[in-house]
Amino acid sequence: MTRCGSCHPHLSPCVTGAGPTSNGYFWVNFTFSSLVSNPVAAREPATFQVQQIWQQVDDQRRDVSHLIDRTYRYHSVRELHWHLADRFSRPIRSLALSRV
């Protein structure tokens, strides 16, 4: 299993080879192409940046904005969710995310 480090520089390097994971499953790489009906959207898809982010700890909100790159332009809330799971070394299903 190798790591390329170029797919998402704001995240940990992605897996580019096959190999067993900790639970015995194997990584599988996929390549795909897509059709874009709007050429403008292909060049400049809608993105957003995180202005501020908090972690809820019991009754208190803790600002953790300094732990992520707030200049990165996310393409979806799902991408941010995966980024946070990676950043905090947590399973994706163990995180809840909401927008204010």
Question: pLDDT, tens digit, for every residue of 23-77?
Answer: 554 444 354 434 445 566 566 667 788 888 888 877 778 888 888 888 888 888 8
Looking at residue 8, what is its pLDDT?
43
| Residue 8 resides in a domain | yes
pLDDT (average), residues 80-88: 86
Q: Are 50 and 70 in contact (CB under 8 A)?
A: yes
For residues 25 and 54, membership in a common domain is answered with no
Percentages (nearest 5) of helix, strand, coil residues in the chain: 20, 15, 65
Is the pLDDT at 15 greater than 50, yes or no?
A: no
| Residue 37 resides in a domain | no
User: What is the residue range of 77's domain?
Assistant: 44-94
Is the pLDDT at 91 greater than 70, yes or no?
A: yes
For residues 69 and 28, membership in a common domain is answered with no
Looking at residue 20, what is its pLDDT?
53
Domains of the chain: total? 2
For residues 56 and 89, membership in a common domain is answered with yes
Higher pLDDT, 88 or 13: 88
